[in-house]
Amino acid sequence: MDSLDAKLKKIVENNQIEMNKTPSERREDKLKELNNKLLDARSKYESGPLRIENAEKQYYTLKDGAVGYEKRKFEKYKVEAENLKKEMLVNHQEDIKNTFHSLSYYNSQRTYSTNIDTVKLTMLKNIMKQLKQLQKENANKSTNNRKTYYVIEEQESVIFWLKFLNYCIISFIIVFIAYSVKEQHIDIYTYLFVIFGAIIVFYLEPLIKLIQSIPLSFNVYTAWGEDTEQPTSTFYVVLIISFILMFVIYKKNAVIDNYFK
């Protein structure tokens, strides 16, 4: 009876203590309780395999004897070893596959790097080639500029002397006409000489082009050989005129000599 009263009294005291605790104190007590449960669960979890193994040993030793237990234990470890081997093989194959992928990636990167170096070298060669071409073009431009300068200078000199020659011819024609009028010595040869001088002064360039266009023979030759289709009428006309002039000069030689006497 006293024992029951003591237990009841203890329960009442514990309840009284719990009622007198503050919320923070009750929280701390609850945390301690939960922490103890966690530690106990971890201890049971960690010792669980060993407890299971001891229980199996006692059960199967009693059931099948020590030899039967060892045989069962061997079969169990054999299955576990096979599973472990399969797992290791799978992992090994996966590692090999990853290794081959890495090697393939490395080879592709090495090939890419080699190609990049080749492209860089090719571009560098092209750039150097373009630079040399630009330098050559600049040199040619400088040479052409100098040539153009000298050509222009030469053309100006030729134009000056042509003008001077034209002035001389015009002056000579004027003097010749004045002399012929003064001496009353005007005939057909006077007109021919004046016309010839005027042609020289005003039509010298077309006359030169006409002479250049005259073929040198009856047959006209090009870079591909004889051109049988090109007309040679100019050659025949000039040839006939030349014969006529030579004949006239030959027949009238005495008259011309008398004109200038």
> pLDDT (tens digit, 9 = 90+) per residue, 63-98?
777 888 788 888 888 888 889 889 999 898 888 888
pLDDT at residue 1, rounded to an integer: 46
pLDDT at residue 29, rounded to an integer: 80
Q: Domain extents for the chain?
A: 188-212+234-260
Contact status, residue 187 vs residue 155, Cβ threshold 8 Å: no
Higher pLDDT, 210 or 86: 86
pLDDT at residue 255, rounded to an integer: 53
Going through 130-260 in order, the beta strands assigned E by DSSP cover 220-222, 225-227
pLDDT > 60? residue 104:
yes
Q: How confident is the model at residue 234 (pLDDT cuts 50, 70, 90)?
A: low
pLDDT > 80? residue 198:
no
In whole angstroms, what is the distance from residue 64 CA to residue 149 CA? 123
Integer CA distances (angstroms), 153 to 4, 167, 226, in order: 143, 21, 39
- Of 49-53, 229-233, 249-253, which one has max mean pLDDT? 49-53
199 contact partners, CB below 8 Å, separation of at least 6: 207
pLDDT > 70? residue 227:
no
User: Per residue in 160-193, pLDDT tens?
Assistant: 777 777 777 777 777 777 777 777 766 776 677 7
Tokens 């860089």 -> residue = 120
pTM of the model: 0.30
Q: How confident is the model at residue 211 (pLDDT cuts 50, 70, 90)?
A: low
User: Per residue in 89-99, pLDDT tens?
Assistant: 989 888 888 88
Interhelix angle 253-260/188-202, rounded to 10 degrees, is: 90
Contact status, residue 186 vs residue 180, Cβ threshold 8 Å: yes
> What is the mean pLDDT of the segment spanning 229-246?
61
pLDDT at residue 111, rounded to an integer: 81
